[in-house]
Structure 1
Amino acid sequence: MSLSSSDAPLEAGAPSQDSGRSLKPWIFLGCGCLTLFVLLIAGIVGFVFYQIKDSEAGRLTERTLRESPAAREALGEIRDTGWPIGSVSVEGGGSGKASLSMSVEGSKAEGKYYATLLRENGRWSVISGRLELNDGRSIPLEGSAAAPAAPVTPEAPVAAGPPASGGQALRSDRAAVAAWTPVAWPDQAIRLEVPADWEQVELAKRSLEFRPKDRKAYFHGNLVYFDQKIPFGPIMETLLTKAAAQLKREEILGYARKDIGPAQGILQLERRGDGHTTAVWNGYFDTPEFGTVSVTLLLGAPTPEDFQRYEPALGAILDSIRFH
């Protein structure tokens, strides 16, 4: 009995034409799904960029750049600006802040524009800006002009700023801890002390964390670099105004203006609905290498009872912080 070529058995390992044909739809389906996923991600990214560009902060950033005499002198006629990237934060009471950057192309030069914005009473303003040209030049740009203040006659009383403190204060008692351990924040000019029996959870360049052995309290720190110097005086005024309003609405337990070395800051005591109690210190200071640095220190406990027990030690940790 003879076998025709069509009846001959396949050699071991030889691919079947039918199996190849059966895989093609799956290959096409996989490629289609991958393409759809890539397009979806691109659409999401594009939408986010569009939202920033179309926001009031984004429009003001671009307008401030185009209206700047220093920018026109360096760039010539501005032909195009890229999508702004960065962060925009809008908070209650008409406050907020933003840090944005965008590429810019002019008839004479190209570069990148960096801007820091502040929102007060629902109105955005550019408080600082910098133009980094591709040839290495760095040109500071003035912020957007503020609305002219109403003239004040000698008889008219000038509105006082918010109180420097109010409500409950954070207790501090170094004697409540038997022994202390010095801590150097890596690569930072910051030194502090923590109770000797507390455990180190994290100690890095931008963050640190310590907790007692029972894990019923914590001290956490975090740093953010702005990469440019910003006038943080208006930010402090905004934070104080906001804290005073929150205290009046009984949203926080208390607040106080608290400067630590060169850092200007404000301390707030808060208690959530579940009893979790925290003391949060937000501060700002300038460095020659990285511009303005923002520091957030979070001290807290999961229950009011735990916070009351550890509060003297937490306050003493905060008071031990030194810059050198």
Structure 2
Amino acid sequence: MEIIFNNPLMLLLLFTIPILVILHYYFFQHNKKKAIRFSNFSAMKRITGTKLITKNTTQLILRSVSLTFLIFAFSMPIIWYESDISITDYVIAIDASASMTNTDVLPNRLEVSKQAASSFLSKLDSKTNIGVVSFAGVTFVKSPLTTRISSVQEAISNIDIELSGGTDIGAAMITSTNILTPGDKTKSIILITDGSDTAGAFVDESVETALNYVISNNIIVHTISIGSGLGTAGYLENSGLPAVYDSDSLKMVSSSTGGKHYEVKNTAEIASAFLDIDLQSEQGRDSFDLFNLFFVIGFILILFEWTLLNTKFRSIP
């Protein structure tokens, strides 16, 4: 657990507290001497049985504590703590290249991926931010980060096969990373594909460049390879590029970022992969903004001090 101050310069005002204490006792001594010159407080004390000149310690404590709470409030503190609730931000990147129409996973690879992703969203905590990207030769942002699960599910259901040929995994990773940053939560990309990176500049360099960018932004990438892993897609035959997934590259991406790689060949296996990703995210860091709490406490203490000043500690004219 730790506390982060978004406006730490305000904490410098804490040095005014000792000054307040010193001034309080200085003016107390000064006013006491002035009062004694004109009044016989010793005689009045014998008559009333009470001490007429006090150090107003209660007032000083209330004022110091209220000021302390207000200073902490305006320093904008946020407490981070370990939580059993998933507070990971996700971007789901779904391959929408032509080969995803393959029916080796019924009804086809794309529909199974969309259904599994949508089902995964329904199990997430309401605080979870979700974004969606589809990619083929070009990457498209289908939904920016949002906590509105229903709108994200709609964006996923609207994903269709992209006209641009190829599978630019590197660009999908970079676009997903740009959606996720900045932010203090754990950030993860769930990348679903059935092919190798066949559209990125210099192909291998595309994934490597994207991986370095992802790592520099502390993002976890889980990769899901869907399909039998056999055969080629018709639209790639002329170029000689395989449409089967490159397990080694995908495993390298996931392991380098602290994620996991899954090879799925049916609906049950992809559902199991999403469940495992969800379980890994159950432990995380959550935050609580302390501004309102500290401000309310400080304000209540000020009201309490004001009440005492007008009742118990009221000055005699």
The TM-score with structure 2 as length reference comes to 0.26
More strand by share: 1
Higher radius of gyration, 1 or 2:
2
**TM-score by structure 1 length?**
0.26
Which structure has more relative contact order (CA 8 Å, sep 6+)? It is: 2
Q: Please identify which structure carries the higher helix content.
A: 2
